[in-house]
């Protein structure tokens, strides 16, 4: 479960981005729920685990408790009701392309549909004052509206091929399920031509499988969300699906949606969305996001530890004030999120924060800028892992994912045996990182302490 500590309130004010603020009328708790759901779905998809058992029991219980606690918050005043009403109007205006005076409408490609679904669901039931019911007709229409908008996003961000137009119809005719493929091909061509984009690179069955796969993360988030919200028992999950279309059909059945992506958006909605053709074309020409969004991964590490030592042998302190000869760093650390080498455990890269009352070290400073405050570093000369959580001001030293021929780690290189990368250890570290559990791991470690200045 995503841990939120005041959305950065515990980070030094000197490190907060200039002009940083929440979106207008945004509810931090609703954003927390949306992010937690996406983190849970991403971790499950990356580890190829079943949908409703992807998280450890402790994390799954915490996520369900968070979802239900936010739903049960009372609407205590008229201002709370007005805030919910305004949030619902903002999201519906985006999804239905409703122009309002003196309020610019965001581009549909800039919106995250999982967040829209979470916000509108909470607004719907907190304003009505009734418990959620997944069989409710209004909720079913809401899910279909959001899913249809997501299919439209996918259609516009598909890889393009200017020469694909001549082959689109023949590919669909050659497919076994030509009616489904033809309908999806027509939908994709309609969406892309209306905003001035070239045809998609794929057509026929290949396009159908690609669009279905791109829809899965949203449907998986929705299934996890509504199961936690209603406290319903987990449905029996099928065997690992042979194709993305098979998993799409199963999830669509759970959410009472049409079983084919081409049936989600209606022609009227597509016509409404295409009215913003200028901005859609500009965003889709070089999209910041392609669907499905790939799970982030830690950097690749060399198999032989000697290669890491050679990589950092000439590393110099970025500030030029390293304690070693010619400004070299005595304790280089490799950020496993981006691969950058930074100084750790030295005064050369420390930065005064909290109005000069404290100093933040180079590793923590990089973690704030790179991964929001929770960082994982490989201290190369020590062969140890440094886990830091800048908001909690905690950290710990752990074993690096390198072992000798007996399968044993060698912290601080005391034995001097040749070391090889342990794929199993690195996979476990990758899994903890995806689940956002490194901060908790650092806090539970018996040797954890204040590593804020490291």
Closest CA to 156 of 197, 216, 102: 197
Count other C-beta atoms under 10 Å from residue 236's C-beta. Answer: 6
- Give 240's strand partners: none
User: Which residue would you say has higher pLDDT here, 193 or 288?
Assistant: 193
Tokens of 213: 């796969």
Token pair 């849970």 is found at: 40
Q: Is the dihedral of CA 130, 135, 141, 142 positive or negative?
A: positive
Number of residues that this document lists for the chain: 454
- 3-state SS record for 28-53: HHHHHHHHHHHHHHHHHHHHCCCHHH
- Long-range contacts from 363-372, C-beta under 8 angstroms, 24+ separation: 363/333, 363/388, 363/451, 363/454, 364/388, 364/390, 364/395, 364/451, 364/452, 364/453, 364/454, 365/15, 366/335, 366/340, 366/342, 367/335, 368/11, 368/15, 369/15, 370/335, 370/337, 370/338, 370/340, 371/337
Which of the pair, 392 or 304, is modelled with greater confidence? 304
Q: Once rounded to an integer, what is the mean pLDDT over residues 324-329? A: 62
pLDDT confidence of 328, banded at 50, 70, 90? low
Closest CA to 264 of 34, 44, 95: 95
Of 36 and 352, which is predicted with more confidence?
Answer: 36
Indicate the pLDDT class of residue 138, thresholds 50, 70 and 90: confident
For position 77, what pLDDT does the model report?
Answer: 83
Determine if residue 347 is left, alpha or beta; phi over 0 gives left, psi from -120 to 50 gives alpha, anything else beta. alpha
More confident residue, 442 or 450: 442
pLDDT of residue 176: 46
What confidence tier does 219 reach under pLDDT thresholds 50, 70, 90? very high
What pLDDT does 135 receive? 67
Angle at 35 between CA 76 and CA 280, to 5 degrees: 105
pLDDT of residue 216: 95
pLDDT(115) > 50: yes
pLDDT at 102 over 80: no
Those residues whose C-beta lies under 8 Å from the C-beta of residue 270, and which sit 6 or more positions away, are 152, 187, 190, 191, 194
Q: For residue 363, how many other CB atoms are within 10 A of its CB?
A: 29
Across 68-72, 167-171, 287-291, 446-450, the highest mean pLDDT is recorded for 68-72
* HSE, side-chain direction, 13 A CA sphere, residue 47: 24
Mean pLDDT over all residues of the chain? 83
**Could you tell me which residues are beta bridge partners of residue 386?**
377, 397
Q: How many CA atoms lie within 13 A of 350 on its CB side?
A: 17
> What pLDDT is recorded for position 364?
85
The pLDDT score that the predictor gives to residue 173 is 47
Rounded CA gap, 299 and 432, in Å?
A: 15
Peptide bond into 292 cis (omega under 30): yes
* pTM for the model: 0.84
Residue 14: which pLDDT band, with cuts at 50, 70 and 90?
Answer: low
Place of tokens 């061509």: 189
Query: Two tokens at 418?
Result: 């040749």
> For helices 137-157 and 277-285, what crossing angle results, to 10°?
60
């Amino acid at each position: 479960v995503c841990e939120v500590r005041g959305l950065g309130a515990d980070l030094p004010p000197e490190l907060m981005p200039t002009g940083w603020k929440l979106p207008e009328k945004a509810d931090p708790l609703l954003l927390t729920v949306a992010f937690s759901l996406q983190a849970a779905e991403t971790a499950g998809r990356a580890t190829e685990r079943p949908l409703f058992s992807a998280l450890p029991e402790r994390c799954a219980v915490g996520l369900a408790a968070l979802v239900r606690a936010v739903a049960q918050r009372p609407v205590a005043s008229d201002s709370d009701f007005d805030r919910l009403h305004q949030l619902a109007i903002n999201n519906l205006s985006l999804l239905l392309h409703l122009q309002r005076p003196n309020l610019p409408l965001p581009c549909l490609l800039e919106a995250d549909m999982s967040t829209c679904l979470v916000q509108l669901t909470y607004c719907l039931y907190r304003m009505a004052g009734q418990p959620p019911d997944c069989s409710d007709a209004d909720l079913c229409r809401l899910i279909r509206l959001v899913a249809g908008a997501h299919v439209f996003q996918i259609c516009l961000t598909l890889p393009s091929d200017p020469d694909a137009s001549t082959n689109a119809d023949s590919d669909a005719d050659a497919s076994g399920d030509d009616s489904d493929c033809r309908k999806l091909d027509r939908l994709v061509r309609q969406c892309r031509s209306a905003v001035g984009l070239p045809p998609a690179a794929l057509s026929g069955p290949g396009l159908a499988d690609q669009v279905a796969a791109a829809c899965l993360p949203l449907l998986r988030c929705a299934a996890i969300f509504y199961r936690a919200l209603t406290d319903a028992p987990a449905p029996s999950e099928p065997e690992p699906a042979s194709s993305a279309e098979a998993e799409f059909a199963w999830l669509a059945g759970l959410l009472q949606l049409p079983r084919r992506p081409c049936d989600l958006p209606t022609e009227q909605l597509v016509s409404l969305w295409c009215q913003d053709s200028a901005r859609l074309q500009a965003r889709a020409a070089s999209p910041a996001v392609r669907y499905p969004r790939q799970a982030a991964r830690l950097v690749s590490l060399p198999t032989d530890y000697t290669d890491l030592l050679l990589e950092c042998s000439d590393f110099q302190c970025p500030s030029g004030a390293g304690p070693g000869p010619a400004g070299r760093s005595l304790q280089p650390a490799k950020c496993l999120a981006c691969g950058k080498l930074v100084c750790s455990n030295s005064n050369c890269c420390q930065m005064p924060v909290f109005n000069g009352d404290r100093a933040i070290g180079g590793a923590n400073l990089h973690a704030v800028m790179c991964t929001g405050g929770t960082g994982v570093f490989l201290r190369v000369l020590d062969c140890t892992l440094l886990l830091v959580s800048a908001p909690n001001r905690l950290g710990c030293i752990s074993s690096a994912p390198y072992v000798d021929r007996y399968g044993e780690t060698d912290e601080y290189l005391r034995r001097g045996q040749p070391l090889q990368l342990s794929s199993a250890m690195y996979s476990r570290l990758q899994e903890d990182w995806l689940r956002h559990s490194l901060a908790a791991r650092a806090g539970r470690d018996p040797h954890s302490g204040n590593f804020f200045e490291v």
